Amino acid sequence: MKNPLYIRIKSQERHIPVYVGKGLEKQLVHWLNEIYPQHAVFAIMDDHVYSIYAQRVRDHLLAHPGFKKILKFPAGEFSKNRRTKSVLEDQLLSARAGRDTVLLAMGGGVTGDLAGFVAATLHRGIPLIHVPTSLLAQVDSSIGGKVGINHQQGKNLIGAFYQPAAVFSDIRYLRTLPRDEFINGLAEVIKYAVILEPSLIDFLENHRERILAREEDTLLEIVSLCVSLKIRVVEKDEKEAGYRSILNFGHTVGHAIEKLTDYRTKHGMAVATGMRVALKLSHQLLGYPFSQVQRICRLLDGFELREIQVHSLQFHELWNAILSDKKARQQTPRFTLMRSLKEPALFYPVKQEELKYAVGG
């Protein structure tokens, strides 16, 4: 296994290891025994991940003297709410989880956000370890310390920045990922290619079949690169005061689509459509090359990230959903757009008529 990558958090003088590899369960338990030998250990999974991996994870974690139990919750974005958080907290406190507790968040982005927020607030903060099992979580949501829950007014409106003690991204978990969930994660990979690493566009175009076949070495290369790219951004701007908002490319419209479809639309599919809109706005307002817009749209199509017909939604509802997004300022939507390759325009104000033209409304 390769040596870990490190997230260097200057404000806390911390170096957070991120392990990316194949078959990391023994490495995880060895690390737990070395770093937290006296702590109680709990894991949180959704019921889908639980049905596949609970016994296997339990068998490995039994090698740690403090292992207690695995908690589960209903799979799906609709579980990322106050009620589910309270249920998990009640279960942990009933099991006498104290400050000397380590929490493993094992699953996709919902699990990482939800369990991470539990860890951030239980006893004012207990150690958290991310064990992401989805492509989206491995390349994006497990890195950077964002945790939280949704509110009826919008996505991720309640939460915190809470860095994990470590991240263990085992690409072999991706073998059991449903195809639509795997495709879902590729949207974030393409996002990195657009905003940070144009050479990744070439790689994705040239290795499409290998990626869709989930060839392990190819996935290992993609996950490692995306983790490195996100670490670079997070180290520059941990709490999204400025530069980190580059990672919101496609998310302004994407989050609005998720909200308006009651989260039935998967995050990656919504963000893929949001990227199409952001690309059109980038061309329309900032002169981003139209040939590049076409190329990225072809790439999204090639990975089955087909466009959601945004104009079928009521535009005023879309606009209002965007206004409730946490990135809005002074009742004006703020988009992450691109001026050219690797040159972003952050917090860019977009007018109603400009957005309406871009979505085809």
SS (H, E, C) the chain: CCCCEEEEEHHHCEEEEEEEECCCHHHHHHHHHHHCCCCEEEEEEEHHHHHHHHHHHHHHHCCCCCEEEEEEECCCHHHCCHHHHHHHHHHHHHCCCCCCEEEEEEECHHHHHHHHHHHHHHHHCCCEEEEECCHHHHHHHCCCCEEEEEECCEEEEEEEECCCCEEEEEHHHHHHCCHHHHHHHHHHHHHHHHHCCHHHHHHHHHCHHHHHCCCHHHHHHHHHHHHHHHHHHHHHCCCCCCHHHHHHCCHHHHHHHHHHCCCCCCHHHHHHHHHHHHHHHHHHHHCCCHHHHHHHHHHHHHCCCCCCCHHHCCHHHHHHHHHCCCCCECCECEEEEEEECCEEEEEEECCHHHHHHHHCC
Architecture of domain 179-359: Up-down Bundle (1.20)
What are the residue ranges spanned by the domains of the chain?
5-176, 179-359
Q: What value does the mean pLDDT take over residues 27-33?
A: 97
Say whether 255 is catalytic. yes
One of 230, 276, 280, 334 is an active-site residue; which one? 230
Q: Please determine, for residue 107, whether its predicted confidence score (pLDDT) is greater than 80.
A: yes
* Domain at 5-176, CATH from 3.20.20.70, 3.55.30.10, 3.40.50.1970, 3.40.190.10: 3.40.50.1970
Say whether 244 is catalytic. yes
Say whether 33 is catalytic. no
Q: What is the pLDDT of residues 291-332, one digit of tens each?
A: 999 999 999 999 999 988 776 778 889 999 898 876 655 567
Q: What value does the mean pLDDT take over residues 238-258?
A: 90
What is residue 11's predicted lDDT score, i.e. its pLDDT?
61
What is residue 9's predicted lDDT score, i.e. its pLDDT?
74
Q: What value does the mean pLDDT take over residues 63-84?
A: 96
Say whether 124 is catalytic. yes
What is residue 361's predicted lDDT score, i.e. its pLDDT?
54
Say whether 99 is catalytic. no
Q: What value does the mean pLDDT take over residues 174-190?
A: 96
One of 2, 10, 96, 124 is an active-site residue; which one? 124
Say whether 146 is catalytic. yes
Confidence band of 240 (pLDDT split at 50, 70, 90) = confident
Rounded to two decimals, the pTM is: 0.92
Confidence band of 221 (pLDDT split at 50, 70, 90) = very high
One of 72, 130, 155, 255 is an active-site residue; which one? 255
